[in-house]
Amino acid sequence: MISAQSPWRARLKIWLPALILVVLNLMVLSTYRFLLAGQAQIQAGRTERRQVRVAELETERRILDETVAEVERNRDLVERLYSEWLTPESERLTAVIAEVKRLAEVAGVEYSSFSYPDKLLEEEGLVKRSLVFSVEGTYLELRSFINLIEVSDLFLILESVRLTGGSRQGPAVRVSMTVSTLFVLEEPAESGDDPPGAAI
């Protein structure tokens, strides 16, 4: 009697290699699957790190852009300062004196005894011209005058206020004030004119 397993045994050389090949393929596929999963995880980690770095670089770029914009604004302000406010003395000194006198009249104080000492700021290319004068008025008038000087558009610098006396006829007080401003240093003039500096 022939066994029921004999056909399988007879074809063992045919189906066994195929079975082994299938098993090996399944093992290889499983291995590749795990390898690919590991590679995908590594790539995901790299992508996440790159995204974090890109975000950091974007933040740094934004900060640099803001810094560049601030530098450009400051450069424009410096150029405007030199072109509009720190013009040469010959162009603006008369306007500065007239402005101080006008502000004194607006505040209601009386002024007298102007002198104009100057100081050369050669490294900055500037001349500091001071207006030294006396004013007399009430406390409120003097305070108003000082405020007007500080908010003036002519770049006035209040350097000192010194009490010199009071009035016998009322609450008025007399103070000595020094108001300064800056001018761009001019090229030496060819003519022999003396620069302004004498008391008026």
CATH code at position 130: 3.30.70.60
Q: What integer pLDDT is reported at residue 168 of this predicted model?
A: 59
- Please tell me whether residues 175 and 102 are part of one structural domain: yes
Q: Scanning the structure block, which residue is given the tokens 């995204």?
A: 51
pTM for this model (two decimals): 0.52
Q: Strand 110-115 and strand 126-137: pairing?
A: antiparallel
Q: Provide the domain count of the chain.
A: 2
- Please tell me whether residues 75 and 22 are part of one structural domain: yes
Per-residue pLDDT tens digits of the chain, which is 200 residues long: 445 556 666 666 676 677 777 777 777 777 777 777 777 777 877 888 888 888 888 999 899 999 999 999 888 877 776 666 666 667 778 888 899 999 999 999 999 888 989 888 877 778 888 999 999 999 899 999 999 999 888 888 899 999 887 665 667 889 999 999 888 777 655 544 454 444 44
Q: What integer pLDDT is reported at residue 39 of this predicted model?
A: 75
Q: Establish if 171 belongs to a structural domain.
A: yes
Q: What integer pLDDT is reported at residue 189 of this predicted model?
A: 52
Domain extent, residue 155, equals 89-184
Q: What integer pLDDT is reported at residue 185 of this predicted model?
A: 76
Nearest Cα residue to 157 out of 199, 100, 89: 100
Q: What integer pLDDT is reported at residue 152 of this predicted model?
A: 87
Q: What integer pLDDT is reported at residue 192 of this predicted model?
A: 47
Q: Establish if 3 belongs to a structural domain.
A: yes
Distance CA 132, CA 112 (A): 10
Q: Rounded to the nearest 5 degrees, what angle is found at the Cα of 33, between the Cα atoms of 29 and 38?
A: 150
